[in-house]
Chains A and B, each alone.
Chain A
Amino acid sequence: MAALKKEYHINKNDFIRAGEASIGVKNVLKSLDVDPSIIRRVAICGYEGEMNVVMHGGTGKLNIEINSTNIVLDISDNGPGMANTELAMERGYSTATDEYREMGFGAGMGLPNMEKNSDEFKIDSAVGKGTRIRMVFSLTHSKE
């Protein structure tokens, strides 16, 4: 079965280019026969994940794999990681600085939104090691 893989790099604190990976992913999906509402969900999750790497994480990458049944979005970074991922997953929980809030980020809804918009969601994080989030979107039987 053919699978398409792409990798994008995400740079720490690079707000100017933040979003490029997600836009790239979006454009790949659009040229394929993927339902626009799924593309929408992948785009939202990709962007939230990308922003988290830029704001809280470190240098990281966004990997996407598309086959005939699934889209797998894998976002990882080698930043500070988190001690308590359950806490981080809570709606409204955020450690974003005031500066980030000024810029319109840090509502603490990123991780909950990613979980809500994906069909499978898995987060792995360890202090000092980094964070990895894996999301799966089913192309055959999807949410909504």
Chain B
Amino acid sequence: MKVCPTRAIRIRDEKSVRLLDQCIGCGECLRVCPAGAISTDQPKLEQLDKNKFSAVIVAPVLSSQFPGEMPSDILAGLKKMGYTHIVELSDFLEMFQFATVTFIQENRKNRKAPWPLISPVCPVVVSLIAIRFPGLLKHILPIERPLVLLISDIRNKISRQFGIKKDDIILHHITPCPSKAVLERSLSKDERLNIDRAFGINSVYSALFHKIEESKKADILSFSRDRFDSFTSGRCLKWGMSGGEISGMQIDKSMAVCGIRETIDYLEKVELGMLRNMEYIEFRACPEGCLGGPLTVIDKYLAKSGVYRMVKMFGMGRRLPRYKIRRLYDDGWFYSKTGPDEDEMLRKLRKKPLSIESLQKIDLLFEKIRGKNCAACGSPDCRTFAEDVVRGDAKLNQCLVIRARKAEGDGKKEKRKGKVKK
């Protein structure tokens, strides 16, 4: 409850945990709750309909979870799970990097953009900004994030290319990120419309692990293990790590920040006008980046070490022709259709503003409580509790300190009465 960066957790009626609208899906609570009081209701992967076109969208961060396995084996394992197609994010990561660098170069000259620009990639950070730093929404780079680039229009494309009815397309996504797998509303509109189901890596891990082993055995016979078609660019494999996004971009002044606390610290700094000479900041809510996501399985440092090995093997080369991406860029294909400050879902995340009078009441109540943030009331700290009371979401007598003081007071009064009687 206390680790929640947006104070979105309340415990009511002794046990039941309630998540408020301010939940941004960072998963900090999943990391710290040993009792499993907070768990993710993730769907189980059932048998896929063989007659349908079933694709799974995966990012290179998936390969970090199988250190030592060749990327092609992981993709083969996914096929063995029943997917007819695998859609891989790497090309879109590279395109995004190109578009970002181009945008920054263009705006550097005319100094139009509000510096520093903030990476739009981590959905948790975008929601966090919407709730706690709305003034920084316009700093978010107006380029769609890679998953959205991939997914917008994907159904039309598949249906045209393969001659399949749109209803017969199943699209799944495997991700380390609870904001995508658990919290649908933190997704952008394109993602919500196009992904049928998102699974945490942890919920498909053991199944996939066995299929990878199986497919490796089968592959030895077919001599096809050297298919280096996907996941094989070091610059894309690095995206799972903090700093991976900017490491492939030639931007003079960029920095990478990861972890929810540090992210908040640095957003505060940006809001105070510091870091104005930075051009681009990559934020990741998870420690060490996506491979430290709450729905991963492998220890993040082991995963990182595995990624570095792969990057050495595959190098940092580019794979896509520049001129083609340039053409898409000039067509405006990369620009986000709705800015984050127009996104209704994000706007809904914000708490209703208080009046000056209510804020004064909260201050007074907070002083009156003089508590120690014990959280026995079910709110994360005394200040938030005072706000909950003034907003009408909690009752003052839920506070143990207040109740104890009252009981003491009553006791004294009674004693005094007693004395008088004697």
Contact = CB atoms under 8 A, between A and B. Distances in A.
Contacts, number: 57
Contact of A22 (B272, B353, B360): B272
B273 interface: yes
Nearest to A22: B272
A43 interface: yes
Interface string A20-56: 0011001010111110110110011011100000000
Given A23-B268, A31-B353, A44-B273, A39 B360 contact: no
B354 interface: yes
Contact of A47 (B274, B353, B357, B360): B274
Nearest to B132: A30
Query: Which of B132, B272, B354 has most A Cβ within 10 Å?
Result: B272
A4 B135 contact: no
B227 to A, nearest CB: 50
A57 to B, nearest CB: 18
B271 A40 contact: yes
B134 interface: yes
A108 B357 CA distance: 39
B35 interface: no
Contacts of A43: 135, 271-273
Nearest to B268: A23
A32 B360 contact: no
Interface of A: 2-4, 19, 22-23, 26, 28, 30-34, 36-37, 39-40, 43-44, 46-48, 66-68, 104, 113
Given A2-B357, A22-B272, A32-B355, 6 more contacts: A2-B360, A26-B271, A31-B353, A32-B353, A36-B134, A43-B135
24 contacts: A2-B356, A4-B356, A4-B359, A4-B360, A19-B268, A19-B269, A22-B272, A26-B268, A26-B271, A30-B132, A31-B351, A32-B354, A32-B355, A32-B356, A36-B134, A36-B135, A43-B271, A44-B272, A44-B273, A46-B272, A47-B272, A48-B273, A66-B356, A68-B356
